């Protein structure tokens, strides 16, 4: 089951997407936590490419088959949240936590629902548990900071947002929240992360940060920390009475809507989800993890083009998965996805056919013999094509002059395939012949 967990949040992947380098994450994590580089391989990513990626259809179906209760639970939650029925959504989450009280993802979901209901104290308790169980996950501290800000506790909110940035310096939402809070308190807000953290440390009176001794409260006010301590009792009373800032509450509700975007949309339900008669709850026990992957079969990992086990599976920007050689041949004939017909011009232009890591790992773990046999078949096909000493591929004749570059315009599918095979087999040779009247 570890294969199906998001490397960023360490939860079961929800609405999984595969970035160009081949690694997969939750869409939610891609939208809020992913930096300009992949956290797994450190390859540079373009924000435009990441935002336009579709959900990985095959990976979602694998997760649905392994953990139908999880998918069913989130589907029910999505329906309630979409209808703004937050009380019913909270009841669904509570049922799950009654069965699996240590499920971190359910605690996170309950905290977000409580935020929508403006029950910030309950949300704070769940987020404290989430941060304790996931101390290296920056988004947990970010959400906790948002709740504390809604409770009218800016100093505590700054401390949590500061910890978020220390875990991940380019966490953009935390930057925005810190700047907003500091600006509201009348502090000068620098643009760079080190300077921002230094100002926050000065606000909080943290002596461990260099330069904090020079950080004095603006406008001749008393220390913000002492003021925060003096008003702690008053703030607690306001919390119990529910007297919170309404604009912050609205922002937290908006955050919930963004947070549940990982749930499958209505259009995707028809393609990705099977109806379930019995609603189930989610768990993370070790016995359940071993049983989950056992339900997968070789047929779950068949290429829709060659109807064989995937060899070097690659995922297109639209979210469909094919063997690398199969999608290359398909793009020779048509620059659209063979399944959904979405244009793949940019995908072909980049020619970045990176193997989808998680699918390759799952196949290696569950079907090592079948994968080895599939690799042998592929190598045999390549070896057969590489025997080009007796039959040299011929390209259409082109006029060339010595010392002048001669670009070849390859647009016919058969010649595209010929060029690619010459490169893949290592011969790197092809011939040309002239037309002779009478002999052709």
Higher pLDDT, 353 or 51: 353
Euclidean distance between CA atoms 198 and 189, whole angstroms: 10
- φ, ψ of residue 76 to 5 degrees: the values are -65, -40
Write b or e for each residue in 185-199: b if 16 or more Cβ atoms lie within 10 A of its Cβ, otherwise e: bebebeeebeebbbb
Average pLDDT over residues 200-221: 52
Q: What is the pLDDT of residues 137-189, one digit of tens each?
A: 888 999 999 999 999 999 999 999 999 999 888 888 888 899 899 888 888 88
Spatial distance between the Cα atoms of 150 and 54, rounded to a whole number of angstroms = 34
Query: Residue 265 — very low, low, confident or very high, per pLDDT cuts 50/70/90?
Result: very low
pLDDT at 191: 81
DSSP class of 221: P
Which residues lie closer than 8 Å to 162 by C-beta, 6 or more apart? 178, 197, 200, 201, 204
More confident: 433 or 378: 378
What pTM value is reported for the model?
0.67
CB atoms closer than 10 angstroms to residue 85 = 13
Q: 27, 6, 12: which is closest to 293 by C-alpha?
A: 12
Pick the CATH number of 298-386 from 3.40.50.2300, 2.40.480.10, 3.20.20.140, 3.30.40.10: 3.30.40.10
H helices, E strands: number in the chain = 21, 6
- pLDDT recorded at residue 104: 84
For the chain, domain boundaries: 2-262, 298-386, 394-432
For a pLDDT cut of 90, what percent of the chain falls above it?
Answer: 28
pLDDT tens string 80-114: 888 888 899 899 888 888 877 878 888 888 998 99
pLDDT band at 206 (very low <50, low <70, confident <90, very high): low
The angle subtended at Cα 71 by Cα 34 and Cα 38, nearest 5°, is 15
Residue 387: predicted pLDDT: 61
Return mean pLDDT, the chain.
76
- Contact 198/212 with Cβ under 8 angstroms? yes
At residue 382, the pLDDT reads 75
- DSSP secondary structure code for residue 258 in this structure: H
Count CB neighbours of 437 within 10 A: 5
List pLDDT tens digits, range 308-344: 999 999 999 999 999 999 998 888 888 899 999 999 9
Residue 397: its pLDDT value, please? 67
The CATH superfamily assigned to 2-262 is: Tetratricopeptide repeat domain (1.25.40.10)
pLDDT tens-digit series, residues 360-419? 999 999 999 999 999 999 888 877 766 655 666 666 666 777 888 777 666 677 777 777
For the segment 10-31, the average pLDDT, to the nearest whole number, is: 87
What's the average model confidence in pLDDT over 277-298?
57
């Amino acid at each position: 089951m570890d294969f199906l967990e998001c490397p960023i949040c360490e939860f079961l992947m929800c609405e999984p997407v595969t970035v160009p380098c081949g690694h997969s994450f939750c869409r939610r994590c891609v939208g809020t936590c992913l930096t300009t580089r992949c956290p797994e391989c450190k390859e540079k990513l373009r924000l435009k490419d990441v935002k336009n990626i579709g959900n990985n259809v095959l990976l979602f179906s694998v997760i649905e088959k392994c953990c139908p209760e999880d998918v069913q639970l989130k589907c029910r939650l999505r329906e309630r949240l979409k209808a703004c029925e937050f009380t019913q959504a909270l009841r669904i989450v509570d049922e799950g936590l009654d069965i699996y009280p240590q499920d971190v993802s359910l605690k996170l979901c309950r905290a977000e629902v409580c935020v929508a209901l403006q029950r910030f104290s309950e949300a704070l308790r769940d987020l404290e548990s989430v941060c304790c169980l996931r101390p290296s996950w920056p988004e947990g501290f970010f959400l906790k900071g948002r709740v504390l800000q809604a409770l009218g506790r800016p100093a505590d909110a700054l401390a949590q947002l500061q910890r978020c940035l220390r875990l991940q310096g380019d966490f953009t939402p935390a930057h925005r929240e810190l700047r907003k809070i500091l600006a509201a308190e009348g502090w000068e807000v620098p643009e760079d992360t080190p300077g921002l953290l230094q100002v926050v440390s000065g606000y909080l009176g943290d002596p461990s940060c260099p330069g904090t001794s020079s950080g004095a409260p603006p406008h001749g006010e008393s220390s913000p920390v002492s003021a925060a301590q003096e008003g702690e009792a008053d703030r607690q009373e306001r919390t119990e009475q529910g007297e919170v800032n309404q604009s912050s509450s609205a922002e937290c509700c908006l955050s919930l809507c963004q947070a549940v975007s990982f749930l499958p949309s209505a259009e995707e339900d028809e393609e990705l989800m099977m109806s379930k008669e019995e609603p189930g709850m989610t768990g993370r026990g070790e016995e359940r993890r071993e049983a989950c992957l056992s339900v997968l079969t070789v047929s779950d990992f068949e290429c829709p083009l060659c109807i064989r086990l995937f060899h070097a599976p690659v995922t297109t920007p639209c979210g469909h998965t094919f063997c690398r050689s199969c999608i290359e041949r398909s793009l020779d004939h048509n620059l659209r996805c063979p399944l959904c017909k979405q244009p793949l011009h940019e995908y072909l232009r980049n020619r970045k056919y990176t193997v989808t890591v998680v699918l390759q790992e799952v196949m290696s773990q569950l079907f090592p013999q079948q994968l080895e046999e599939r690799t042998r078949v592929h190598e045999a096909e390549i070896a057969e094509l590489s025997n080009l000493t007796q039959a040299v591929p011929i390209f259409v004749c082109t006029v060339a002059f010595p010392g002048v570059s001669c670009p070849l315009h390859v647009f016919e599918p058969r010649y595209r395939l010929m060029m690619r095979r010459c490169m893949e087999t290592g011969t790197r040779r092809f011939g040309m012949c002239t037309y002779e009247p009478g002999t052709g």
